[in-house]
Amino acid sequence: MKRPVLFTAAGFLLAFCAAPALAQSSATAPTLDARGLPTHNAELGLPYEPEGAGQTDHDAIRRRVLDVLAQQFGTFRDRTASMAQEIDAWCAASGAAPAPQAVSEAYRAAYLAWAPLDSYQFGPIEARGAALTVNFWPDKKGFVKRGLAMLHGLPAETRADPAEIAHLSAAIQGFPAIERLLLESTPDCPSLTGISGNLTRIAAELYDDWFAPEGWADLARSAGPDNPVYLSAEEFTKQIYTALDFGLIRIAEARLSRPLGEPTRSYPRRAEAWRSELSLALIDAQLTGIGQMIEFGLAGDIIEPSRNWVLRVVDQAHERIGRIGMPLHEAVKAPQTRIRAEAVQTKIRYLQLQLAQDIGPGLGVDTGFSAADGD
């Protein structure tokens, strides 16, 4: 599965349904920075830095990183809203099983749009507890199943109300619950309507928490001695770098390690979203988000050859994912296919090592505290 977007701005634009605010006419003159270099591609309106400029400008990094985040959070907001609309239309028409292709595709698109955001478990995502409400996984105790059994016992008007869903267990507010509901022999349309509507609210609020006036983006822009979170722009760079490291940990140590289990025993049903066979697509989408942040966010402030080499390793990881050739929960069952999943894990760990050895020191930062560190 080749990484689809990392080396062209056009690929990035197409893959993420670019926010209108970032689009500029090709006739618009580029903005120049203090070095007289263009800060944005005039035709596409996307952040630009000359490859391998290697001059660490944390203010420029912050500007570009926020552009990437706006794309990613905006895509999640838009695709979640589209999923809710497709579910509403299906339920209004018949609600009969199986779910139509348009609903399945909208669910898949929204779920994959969340995957890059899973790396950013700080700020608005942390404050809202969105990592749990959007994607309650791993579910080691079966809370999603039990929560849905409880939900089925409530009146239909309660189940269909997003505001009511928001006050119930986090386990039934997100994609794992929708996955189960879509696969039921008799779909519960009120629950699907309520959960997808609540997810739409969460996605919109996360975007606004970041990019509305006085949101987290403004907090990052105002870094300085009086800022309660970032005493300098460099501290924001450090947090983003830490988030990329955390994302790689999530892929290697959760999304892959859980189903791989032990050399002599795998656990196929520990794979994320195994019922809808999205496990590998979610890994691929999170890796794509990490690659976008490296290429378009950190960009030319990473020295060469480190930058191109790390992007090449990202490509290699995508290629290894593609070679698995079957759903992850099936691949881990047999030794001859399990080894392909292990090869992806090895490459992800190598990528994490390359970030620590080359990217972090080049930017003058190291990893800080992340969700991987626990309490």
Task: List pLDDT tens digits, range 185-232.
Answer: 889 999 999 999 999 999 999 999 999 999 999 999 999 999 999 999
User: What percent of the chain stands above pLDDT 70?
Assistant: 83
- Greater pLDDT, 367 or 273: 273
How many domains are contained in the chain? 1
Residue 142 lies in a domain: yes
Q: How far is CA 172 from the centre of its chain?
A: 20
pLDDT class of 371 with cuts at 50, 70, 90? low
Whether 204 contacts 77, CB under 8 Å: yes
Residue 206 lies in a domain: yes
Residue 145 identity = K
- The answer to whether residue 196 sits within a structural domain is yes
Question: Quick check: is 194 in a domain?
Answer: yes
Q: Note the pLDDT of residue 240.
A: 97
Cα angle value 326/328/329 (rounded, 5°)? 110
Mean pLDDT of 309-315: 95
Residues near 80 by Cβ (< 8 Å), separated by ≥ 6? 110, 113, 196, 199, 200, 202, 203
Q: How confident is the model at residue 31 (pLDDT cuts 50, 70, 90)?
A: low
Burial (0-12, 13-18, 19+ Cβ within 10 Å), 37: middle
Distance of CA 47 to the CA centre of its chain: 20
List C-alpha distances in Å: 361 to 307, 352, 355, 366: 12, 13, 9, 7
* Phi, psi of 262, rounded to the nearest 5 degrees: -110, 160
Question: Could you tell me if residue 244 is inside a domain?
Answer: no
Residues of the domain holding 157: 64-216
**Quick check: is 27 in a domain?**
no
Residues 136/114, Cβ–Cβ less than 8 Å = no
Higher pLDDT, 71 or 6: 71
